Amino acid sequence: MKYDILETKERVLADNDKVAADLRKFLKERNIFFFNLMASPGAGKTTLLKRTIEELGHELKFAVMEADVDSDVDAAAISALGVDVIQLHSGGLCHMDADMTARGIEAFLGDGILDEKWPDILVLENIGNLVCPAEFDVGANKRVMILSVPEGHDKPLKYPLMFQVSDIILVNKIDTKEVFDFSEEEFEKNVRKQNERAPIIYLSAKTGEGFDAWIDWLRGEAICE
Amino acid sequence: MKYDILETKERVLADNDKVAADLRKFLKERNIFFFNLMASPGAGKTTLLKRTIEELGHELKFAVMEADVDSDVDAAAISALGVDVIQLHSGGLCHMDADMTARGIEAFLGDGILDEKWPDILVLENIGNLVCPAEFDVGANKRVMILSVPEGHDKPLKYPLMFQVSDIILVNKIDTKEVFDFSEEEFEKNVRKQNERAPIIYLSAKTGEGFDAWIDWLRGEAICE
């Protein structure tokens, strides 16, 4: 049967980009590599971050901003690794913007955490969402996204902006590939319609399979920044 | 190490509720049961809807509004079942509101689809997102949410509003339960902190396991409405 298309147009982003640029400059001067970690709910952001800190934490100092609509469960999990972490509550909003991120960094500074010794790597674990976080430059050097195998290989078609803005795409839960109808070939075809350059790394934050490639990429970025 | 909480406060909802109430009245007068289907990306909204139409479509007439940031893949899949479907593009927004929903219904009317014979069940497949869609009453009689097993049993803690506003919670991909560390007991404990009444149904839209309970619920609601 027939179907039509309705377009309902979006409003413009405020002066977010200016705040983001200032933030990037501030961090650059302190040799801090800052990445914005984005994914759907349950794609494995915190699990990936935990393993990343376990594998790289002895070489490089991490500081983490955990953004959530509510609850502190992720901050508590990261804090247990002995890493400086701050919990940001969005109060219902579905993304972080540059201003909220700046306030997180100010809170770190207020606590004297960043004054003591600047971290090598600053992470924003964004709110679980494939739509809104993609729209906001939070001042990060790189945008890292996770797509988990159970979500399906068609997602680049449905959340195009997220795939367009990401600098690296991590496909998590690869250990469950046999259970789901996930085609790497189809996925890559769909990604390349949106993004020609971002590396795609297949891994499992649970088993560690494929994790080396991600750690190598991150180490390289953090050292070069 | 220490961590703090920042609260960044949200703005109020406009006159969305009035439009939603008008819409509900309009549908009520025509004996149409309208449900708002919400979930994360890749939780199985379209697959669930397809099986629902296959199992119930011979008894009850469906009409479907497919909301997406971009692409028509879901509308095409539903259309292939011979059901009236309209694709709504949000132009980057992460949710549908009552006004956008009303415009979808107007488009149906413009095409003469609703004049010919009113459907028994109208569905809005909302944008894949556990945050923003929860905030907007779209004029539906019931809010149906899907949480898929791979997302994890802690999600009610992290996306409280979605669990609070849902009238029924479907736990999809139950056929993959062995692969993930998903505890039904923990999940129910977490859900009940947010929502004391909503029934929880475990099912697999892929294999059909547990699907009867959902079909029975939907049939009951559609006939009683």
User: Is some CB atom of chain A closer than 8 A to the CB atom of B82?
Assistant: yes
Q: Is A126:A37 a contact under the CB 8 Å cutoff?
A: yes
Residue B40: C-alpha distances to residues A98, A108, A199, B155 (Å): 24, 31, 24, 11
Q: Which of B86, B89, B176 sits opposite A8 (nearest CB)?
A: B89
How many whole angstroms separate alpha carbon A9 and alpha carbon B207?
Answer: 38
How far is the C-alpha of B117 from the C-alpha of A10, rounded, in Å? 34
In this prediction, does ipTM exceed 0.95?
no
For A208, phi then psi, to 5°, come to 95, -10
As a whole number, mean pLDDT of residues A100-124 equals 83
CB contact under 8 A, A8 and B75: no
Across the range B90-102, mean pLDDT stands at 84
pLDDT of residue B53: 97
**Residue A197 pLDDT:** 94
Q: Please state the rounded mean pLDDT for residues B39-54.
A: 96
Q: Is the pTM of this model over 0.90?
A: no
Q: Is A223 within 8 Å of chain B by CB?
A: no
Average pLDDT over residues A89-116: 80
> From residue B214, how far is each of A114, A128, B170 by CA, in Å?
52, 27, 8
Q: What is the pLDDT of residue B138?
A: 95
Q: Which amino acid is at A85?
A: V
* 3-state helix/strand/coil string of chain B: CCCCEEECCCCCCCCHHHHHHHHHHHHHCCCCEEEEEEECCCCCHHHHHHHHHHHHCCCCCEEEEEEECCCCHHHHHHHCCCCEEEEEECCCCCCCCHHHHHHHHHHHHHCCHHHHCCCCEEEEECCCCCCHHHHCCCCCCEEEEEEEHHHCCCHHHHCHHHHHHCCEEEEECHHHCCCCCCCHHHHHHHHHHHCCCCCEEECCCCCCCCHHHHHHHHHHHHHHC
pLDDT at residue B224 tops 90: no
The verdict on a CB contact (< 8 Å) between B41 and A160 is no
Pick from A3, A129, A160: CB nearest B79: A3
Q: CA dist B140 to A174, B23, B32, B101, B216, Å?
A: 37, 8, 10, 10, 19
Alpha-carbon distance of B73 to A160, in angstroms, equals 13
Closest partner residue to B107 (CB to CB) among A6, A75, A131 is A6
In A, minimum Cα distance to B85 occurs at A3
Tell me which DSSP letter residue A209 carries. Answer: T
